């Protein structure tokens, strides 16, 4: 349960349902990144997660099964070619023409239906009262998360290769065992002193890379 603030109002947002028709948020986003805004304040690209009821007292949040990127616009500018929500609005205004003005200042469409009337399974326009509290993840947060997810996917797609890593140092000792012990003590000192060694990396193609971890410089050579 999270508590969001909108002006002087505190809004309680329950955890997102875990049913199969409520998939995880995209790009690794979480409810911790969500904020509450009025429907009229939703910006293009904001990810719409939930809305709150109009009931008096404690408002209840309703999670959107499939969160959607907002494309807010006035109802009169809706590009929808016909959907259940728009048909209901038309019927409401035709029944009393004085209500046409109400539509302009009371409602906003946050996302138009993607398909015309009659397409089975289509989602209708997301029409909300302009003052209704909504839960969104701001567009800049969504964009940053999407970019990070794309970069992680690209990195994961890089081929995995086998590399040999070598470190060398000279020690004066009376036996191989003593030299090994001296080397081991020096390796431990790198971690304690924060002074990493210079490493020589060889790949499967016979190329050698000398990595100075302290200077973060890389030189490439061939064996």
DSSP codes joined into one string, 138-172? -HHHHHHHHHHHHHHHHHHTSPP---EEE------
Instruction: List the domain boundaries for the chain.
Output: 2-154, 164-222
Specify the pTM.
0.65
User: Is residue 56 within 8 Å of residue 67, measured between CB atoms?
Assistant: no
Over residues 107-166, the pLDDT tens digits come to 899 998 864 344 444 678 898 989 999 999 999 999 999 999 998 888 888 787 888 888
């Amino acid at each position: 349960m999270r508590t969001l603030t909108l002006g002087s109002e505190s809004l309680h947002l329950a955890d997102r349902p875990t049913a199969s028709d409520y998939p995880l948020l995209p790009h690794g986003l979480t409810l911790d990144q969500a904020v509450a805004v009025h429907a009229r304040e939703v910006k293009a690209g904001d990810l719409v997660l939930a809305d709150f009821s109009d009931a008096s007292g404690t408002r209840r949040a309703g999670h959107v099964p499939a969160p959607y990127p907002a494309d807010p616009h006035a109802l009169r500018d809706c590009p929808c070619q016909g959907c259940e929500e728009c048909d209901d609005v038309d019927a409401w205004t035709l029944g009393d023409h004085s209500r046409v003005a109400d539509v302009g200042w009371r409602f906003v469409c946050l996302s138009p239906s993607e398909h015309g009337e009659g397409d089975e399974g289509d989602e209708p326009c997301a029409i909300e009262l302009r003052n209704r509290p909504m839960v969104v993840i701001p567009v800049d947060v969504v964009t940053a998360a999407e970019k990070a997810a794309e970069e992680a996917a690209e990195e994961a797609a890089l081929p995995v290769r086998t590399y040999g890593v070598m470190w060398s140092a000279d020690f004066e000792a009376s036996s191989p065992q003593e030299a090994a012990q001296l080397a081991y003590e020096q390796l431990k000192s790198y971690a304690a002193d924060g002074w990493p060694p210079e490493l020589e990396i060889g790949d499967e193609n016979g190329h050698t890379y000398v990595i100075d971890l302290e200077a973060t410089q890389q030189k490439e050579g061939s064996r």
